[in-house]
A and B are shown apart, each in its own frame.
Chain A
Amino acid sequence: MHSTDVAQADPGDLIACPQCDALYRARMPEHGSRAVCARCHTVLIAPRRRAGMIIIALAAAQLVLVLGAVWFPFLRISRQGFANEATLLDAALSFTGGPLLLLSLAVTALIVLVPLARAVLTIYVLGPLVFDRPAPPGALRLFAFAEALRPWSMAEIFALGCAVALVKVADLAHLSFGPAFWMFAGLVFLTVIHDRWMCRWSVWQALERGYGARKAQVAA
């Protein structure tokens, strides 16, 4: 990235590092390579070939896995003839009564609702763009919302929590993983790839163009 004569350039051609405010002339790097801020090394642009299609496919798979992970049991326990199974919803809603109910709602949001919302929003916002349609209504707002949700999606932390729980009660009772645990592990894996493939700058750029197309369509 070059920072020469950026002051004279049209603001639309520039990109500012969101972390340290360094200003650059935006230029699309080659597919597979990345444009990085020279000062703080934040990744600014990282395009990938056919990324849109892959991200849509990943989001659809995430959607299926979240829904599956909610309904199937993810851990099974047995001891002295007593047995019990827990689904994700059981775990999320396990804090009942009084102020702990608040915690139930928070846990449900962090491990189920936020990942679900991100998958749905990704499909809704990027789907039309991938198929060269104008951006859907509210696309910019909704993509911004999906981005704001990113740090609050804690599926991978929950998956590690399962493993810790398994060890913690190992001498108390016999524990085994149910199908939902493996779905959850798959979800974690997909989320990591999803974040790697998503080039935010390209999406914003495409949404801006898609909005132009939408306005033109409405006017015609």
Chain B
Amino acid sequence: MSDAAGTITAREAGLVACTRCTRVWPAGTARCGRCGKQLVSRDTHSLSRVWAWWVAGVLCYIPANLYPMLRTRMLFTTSDDTIVQGAIELATHGAPVVALIILVASVAIPLGKFAAIAWLAISVRRGSRATPQARHRLYEIVEYIGRWSMIDVFVVAILTALVQLNLAASIKPGPAALAFALSVIFTMLSAQAFDPRLIWDRAKDDTRARAARA
């Protein structure tokens, strides 16, 4: 079955589904009798929570890019590197692949995630020409890939623990590390707050409206 017309949702059948353990209960049941999760047929507050976490994530992402992530102290020199500066330095020192990993994980993924979540949340309200399949796929990608942004924070942690070579070299974390970690965590919470069932409801409503007009 490729089209949504043949399927019936739990809500249309007068039932409410548990999103944690997939058990189905009669509509109006307050808690899942199996796993104890609170049951809501559609999470109506979902979008406000999505936007709240989203704003928090974006706000943290700004200082994460402006302040230094790493403070490297060598014998006579000290250098402060922001995320982008660190990546550029890697690229010029003959490690373009690693520079690319850092740029993708710390710049492309977070920015792409902000855009994707915002678009999904808006399209649920306003409707969209993109198929629900495509939007659902995008949602899955965002959920899966968001965690990988944490890699830069881990690299800073590893380097800080490791590079303590007395006078020769030492590395310390900068304030951006905290801001960046918070940004990743907030964006993950934003994606988790989104109720993907809204995508499919909206798509079905749109199809029906189009059929009525024709």
Contacts and interface: CB of A to CB of B under 8 A. Distances in A.
Interface of A: 3, 6-7, 11-12, 14-23, 38-41, 44, 75, 77, 79-80, 82-84, 86, 90-95, 99-100, 102-103, 106-107, 110-111, 140-141, 143-144, 147, 151, 154, 157-158, 160-162, 164-165, 167-173, 175, 200-201, 204, 207-208
Contacts of A175: 162
B21 A77 contact: no
A169 B10 contact: no
Interface stretch (B52-60, B120-128, B153-161): B153-161
Contacts, number: 222
Contacts of B181: 103, 106-107
Contact of A19 (B74, B154, B166, B197): B197
B34 A204 contact: yes
Given A40-B133, A157-B147, A86 B162 contact: yes
Interface string B93-133: 10100100110000000000000000000000000000011
A158 B168 CA distance: 26
Nearest to B196: A19
Given A91-B157, A103-B177, A204-B21, A3 B8 contact: yes
B110 to A, nearest CB: 14
Contacts of A92: 157
Interface of B: 1-2, 4, 6-15, 17-26, 34-37, 72, 74, 86, 90, 93, 95, 98, 101-102, 132-133, 136, 143, 147-148, 150-155, 157-169, 173, 175, 177-178, 181, 185, 188, 192, 196-197, 199-201
15 contacts: A15-B23, A16-B9, A17-B17, A18-B22, A19-B196, A23-B17, A39-B132, A44-B22, A79-B169, A103-B177, A111-B154, A143-B35, A144-B20, A154-B150, A161-B151
A23 B93 contact: no
Of the candidates A16, A83, A200, the one having the most CB atoms from chain B within 10 angstroms of its own CB is: A16
Contacts of B102: 164
A38 B197 contact: no
Residue with the highest number of chain B CB atoms closer than 10 Å, among A44, A100, A102, A200: A100
Contacts of A93: 161
B39 to A, nearest CB: 11
B165 A23 contact: no
Given A23-B8, A90-B161, A94-B158, 10 more contacts: A14-B24, A18-B18, A22-B8, A75-B158, A79-B168, A151-B143, A157-B151, A164-B98, A168-B155, A207-B34
A148 B13 CA distance: 28
Given A20-B200, A21-B17, A107-B157, A84 B22 contact: no
B201 to A, nearest CB: 8
Given A22-B9, A100-B173, A161-B155, A173 B163 contact: yes
